[in-house]
Structure 1
Amino acid sequence: MLKGNILTPDGWRHGELQCRDGRITALPDTPVDPADNDAPRILPGFIDLHVHGGGGADVMEGGEALATVARTHARFGTTSLLATTMTAPDAEIRRVLGEIGAYLEAPGALASRVLGGHLEGPYINPGKLGAQPSHARSGVIEEVEALSRLAPIRLLTLAPELAGHHALIRWLSERGVRVQLGHTLGSYEDGVAALDHGACGFTHLFNAMTGLHHRKPGMVGAALAHAEYAELIPDLLHVHPGAIRTALRCIPRLYAVTDSTAAAGMPDGEYRLGEQAVTKCLGGVRLADGTLAGSTLTMDQALRNLVSLGLTLAEASDRLSRFPADFLGRQDLGRLAPGAHADLVVLDPHLNLRAVHVAGRRIEGVPHVTDA
């Protein structure tokens, strides 16, 4: 039982939230404006669909690293995540997906739910790698089908302009795998065609894709003109606040991700991102040549950043919880409603974390002020 200002699908309510066996059983009926009191703000737990690492561990390490990543992000309010792979040789991707599949059979306790995998590459454009290693290639259905037997792939990022990818997008979409466009040199027309074939989102919008020009609107233009969903990294480093505001006006269900690396939740220093060495300093993570390489962002800081841009707390919450849950088709996540999983975060009036619960169980080690 928790008491405070509770964000429900019908707005803010004041009173007690009750749960049993990991599910919400009852919510209060009394409407409230949370600005009128100092009671805790209780929100749905955050859902991060793009996580490479955290707590010094990298998803590509597999094994115990997966548990470390899930425990680390739970401490910052992420109650569900997708373990996100890097572009790598086929054997390496198979190994990691196999370890993700094994982890899902015996997940760690008191940690974020790992909902499956996000395959970011290798089916991306070698001319738009960003911080991805140089193992990019076109995808074929038979290969992706074999990979999907190792672990549930919930989301796959690809460059739509590569040969054979329209057929791959259709095949994935028919099987319920969400396809996002990213790490692409594709044109506006390539983006629109991919959406017509079943793609449904864009990976770290603005980053690693062709930009908007008034005579060549590029992949960014396709997203702004046509997307219902897209992910964006709101660390205020990857994307200028003005560009974030533009996307918020154009894309109805724009949602936040961290694209976090092993450096998230850790001090400045050297870390791994797949096979590459990265450095955390000045609030960011970069390759040796200065290229941004994922982030140090945690979702509680993402929430505060969106509020700082003018979103209400309820609007920001939707972009960290409800919209990513809806994108995956998970009506039992991302909202505080009877029957939903009792995954939630408790904030003070200054939006600092005070508690995190997964399936109704409180996570240990939640920091009062994030060092993100």
Structure 2
Amino acid sequence: MPEDNILTPQGWIRGHLSHQQGRVLRIDGEPCDPADNDLPYLLPGFIDLHVHGGGGKDIMQGGDAFKTIARTHLRFGTTALLATTMTAPSEEIGAILAQLGPYCEQRQPGTARILGVHLEGPFINPGKLGAQPNFAHTAIAAEIDEYLRLAPIRVITIAPEIAGHEALIRSLSARGIRMQIGHTLGSYEEGVAALAAGASSFTHLYNAMSPLHHREPGIVGAALAHARYAELIPDLLHVHPGAMRVALRSIPCLYCVTDSTAAAGMPDGEYSLGSHIVTKCLGGVRLADGTLAGSTLTMDQALRNLVKIGLPIAEASQRLSQFPADYLGLADRGRLQPGSWADCVRLDRSLKLTKVMVEGEAVDFQNA
């Protein structure tokens, strides 16, 4: 077995990783500086908490779409993800959750683990839809309880300024659901109040939220001043590298997501995004009016983009693996150490992905 530069919570190890029954058994080797050798990098598998689609399929299509999406993202090093819904009529959301619930119970061979659901909408501000279809409405506790009965919802995006939402943030966060501020016209003060009530992150920071102004700091200002966690899309289209660096300096556990659509891993053309038709071209995905509509980003490219703007490989990896795992409270994912899931990616010195392993299963990702 060849040696690797293995990234562990204690730092880089030059050596070998062994696994048994899907878990890391041990890591043998010595501390090292990867700059002193030309060995490949072995990093924790990527964890993407915002995935709408991939491989030509959209989560809201249901059926075999889940498998196609989980298989597609595994090809690019994502070993675990949250299936992310679009704003839609309640009965449509319920029907998709009823299918996702059983699917989340067991990982299929050759696919990434679907950890649960990120409910992005419908509890958002209709004045800040972004690319979300216009089915936004005020959250109702009974509706959310029904959704929770159908599927393991781990994250809910919510606009805190809407009447009744702050109380729901408080009650749902107390039940262990990560409540994220997003698609919002809220003020700085409303963002701070939501954090105090239990909100724990921000959905695609900077995008679809009230911006930072020096006299009206907005939701962006609340995040930069107070957040521990926030998600950000590092495709270099959604957020300028300078704004990315501001967020990286301000938010200790900023983690990165793809917000990927059906167009991820596919050629240019037209694809579904919920009830919308979107067009992939010039590396992005847009509605007919030019609005950015999710992305074509994959997590291996996210790693390369973070390194391109100046992050060390170890920090870039942390923001794609450990921090999202920590955010969900998963101590056995997002890091390589004895007892953790054997989820890992091997990259060559140019950061090209050469091998993926998920829960101890080595995947022929080129043919996955």
CA distance in 2, matches of 1:18, 1:365: 20
CA distance in 2, matches of 1:80, 1:179: 20
Residue type matched to 1:16 in 2? H
Q: Deviations over 1:45-91 (max 9, x none)?
A: 00000000000000001110000000000000000000000000000
SS where residue 39 of structure 1 aligns?
coil
Residue type matched to 2:166 in 1? H
CA distance in 2, matches of 1:229, 1:159: 17
Residue type matched to 1:107 in 2? R
CA contact (8 A) 2:153 2:177 kept: yes
CA contact (8 A) 2:355 2:365 kept: no
CA distance in 2, matches of 1:257, 1:184: 19
CA distance in 2, matches of 1:229, 1:129: 22
Tell me what 2:230 maps to. 230
Tell me what 1:5 maps to. 5
Residue 107 (structure 1) shift: 3.3
Q: Deviations over 1:298-318 (max 9, x none)?
A: 000000000011100000000
Q: Deviations over 1:271-299 (max 9, x none)?
A: 00001000000000000000000000000
Residue type matched to 1:155 in 2? V
Question: What is the total number of aligned residue pairs between the two structures?
Answer: 367
CA distance in 1, matches of 2:190, 2:364: 46
Give the stretch that moved more between structures: 20-29 or 295-304.
20-29
SS where residue 222 of structure 2 aligns?
helix
Residue type matched to 1:356 in 2? V
Assess, with a 3 A threshold, how the Cα gap between structure 1 residues 2 and 161 changes in structure 2: closer, same or farther: farther
CA contact (8 A) 1:353 1:366 kept: no
SS where residue 99 of structure 1 aligns?
helix
CA contact (8 A) 1:354 1:366 kept: no
Is 1:160 matched up with 2:163? no
Residue type matched to 2:117 in 1? G
CA contact (8 A) 1:344 1:358 kept: yes
CA distance in 2, matches of 1:107, 1:327: 21
Give the stretch that moved more between structures: 103-112 or 158-167.
103-112
Tell me what 1:32 maps to. 32
- For structure 1, the 5+ residue unaligned runs are 368-372
Tell me what 1:178 maps to. 178
Residue type matched to 2:47 in 1? I
Output the aligned Cα RMSD.
Answer: 1.0
SS where residue 104 of structure 2 aligns?
helix
- For structure 2, the 5+ residue unaligned runs are none
Residue 106 (structure 1) shift: 4.3
* TM superposition score normalised by structure 1: 0.97
CA contact (8 A) 1:355 1:366 kept: no
For 1:126-205, list aligned pairs within 5 A: 126-205=126-205
Residue 219 (structure 1) shift: 0.2
Tell me what 1:326 maps to. 326
Is 1:275 matched up with 2:275? yes
Q: Deviations over 1:182-234 (max 9, x none)?
A: 00000000100000000000000000000000000000000000000000000
CA distance in 1, matches of 2:105, 2:244: 38
CA distance in 2, matches of 1:142, 1:165: 13
Residue 28 (structure 1) shift: 2.1
Is 1:253 matched up with 2:253? yes
Residue 93 (structure 1) shift: 0.2
* TM superposition score normalised by structure 2: 0.98
The percent identity for this pair of structures is 66
CA distance in 1, matches of 2:146, 2:7: 41
